[in-house]
């Protein structure tokens, strides 16, 4: 199955500049319209309920994910544990991809890579979270959000890569750092760079030969201003880009 997450194409400097400038306004406006005052994805929660019910933050509802799912939610005052459930049954009565009641953080890095319940491109999955305080377990999150794993993403997240593929970074938007993942079907010389909106190279994350398999690298934008950036990857005849938004 071919990876369709990124389009293979030449990346001349002038094209890169046009690509960034035309995408900048739409990306920033979309995030501004879907985020809360602190830049987090938000949902409408009745007054008094937000203190006991986690708000789901990522992945957003009906998202199509690139790579292994990563879950994030808001914290609850006094919480000592969190319980995450994710599965194909909207009522959470069937088999679970994740059913962990021992989480102490508001972020669950990913589902098990060897999960036998994953079905490439097979429909929609749902997730919810609840918190536990000294008084016991609190209600589940008011909203049950869903996500879809595309065939390319599932194959690349749980199986050995068959071709080069640059996956989307997480988190995005971010401040100050984000993780960028890429995969190689064989040892290749890789150059992974970040460009600003003027097409200037602001960081070189990888520049050398890398082995076959999955790789990840952290991009730290602590010394950069807010705005849109583009990460480009070249490996052999493969070229791909992802857009990244820094919000400070």
pLDDT in tens, the chain (248 residues): 445 444 444 455 555 555 555 545 444 433 333 333 333 333 333 434 456 889 888 888 887 765 567 788 888 999 999 999 988 888 988 777 778 888 888 877 555 444 444 554 556 889 999 999 999 999 999 888 888 776 554 444 444 567 888 887 878 888 999 989 888 889 999 999 999 999 999 999 999 999 988 888 999 999 999 999 999 999 999 998 888 999 98
Tell me the pairing of strands 136-137 and 124-133.
antiparallel
User: Are 13-32+160-246 and 56-150 in the same CATH fold?
Assistant: yes
| Cα dihedral sign, 229-153-33-170 | negative
Q: Token pair for residue 109? A: 């890095």
pLDDT at 41: 36
Torsion of CA 15, 153, 214, 246, to 10 degrees: 50
Q: Where are the domains of the chain?
A: 13-32+160-246, 56-150
**pLDDT digit string, tens, across residues 31-59:** 333 333 333 333 333 434 456 889 888 88
pTM of this structure: 0.44
DSSP code for 174: B
CATH number belonging to domain 56-150: 2.60.40.10
Residue 56 to residue 54: CA distance in whole angstroms: 6
Residue 25 to residue 60: CA distance in whole angstroms: 21
**pLDDT digit string, tens, across residues 142-164:** 888 888 776 554 444 444 567 88
- Identify the architecture of domain 13-32+160-246 in CATH: Sandwich (2.60)
- Helix/strand number for the chain, H first, E second: 2, 16
Give which of 33, 35, 144 is closest to 89, Cα–Cα.
Answer: 144
């Amino acid at each position: 199955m071919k990876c369709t997450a990124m389009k293979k194409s030449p990346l001349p400097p002038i094209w890169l500049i046009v690509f960034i400038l035309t995408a900048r306004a739409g990306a920033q406006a979309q995030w501004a319209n879907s985020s809360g005052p602190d830049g987090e994805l938000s949902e409408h929660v009745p007054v008094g309920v937000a203190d006991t019910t986690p708000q789901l933050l990522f992945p957003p509802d009906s998202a199509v994910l690139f790579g292994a799912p990563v879950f994030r939610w808001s914290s609850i005052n006094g919480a000592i544990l969190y319980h995450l459930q994710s599965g194909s049954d909207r009522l959470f009565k069937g088999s679970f991809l994740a059913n962990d009641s021992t989480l102490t953080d508001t972020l669950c890095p990913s589902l098990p890579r060897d999960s036998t319940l994953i079905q490439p491109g097979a429909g929609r999955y749902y997730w919810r979270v609840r918190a536990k305080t000294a008084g016991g377990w609190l209600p589940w999150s008011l909203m049950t959000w869903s996500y879809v794993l595309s065939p390319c993403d599932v194959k690349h997240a749980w199986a050995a890569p068959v071709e080069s593929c640059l996956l989307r970074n997480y988190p995005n938007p971010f401040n100050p750092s984000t993780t960028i993942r890429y995969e190689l079907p064989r040892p290749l010389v890789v150059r992974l760079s970040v460009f600003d909106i003027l097409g200037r190279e602001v960081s070189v994350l990888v520049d050398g030969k890398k082995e076959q398999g999955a790789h990840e690298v952290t991009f730290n934008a602590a010394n950069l201003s807010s705005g849109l950036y583009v990460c480009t990857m070249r490996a052999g005849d493969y070229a791909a880009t992802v857009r990244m938004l820094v919000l400070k």
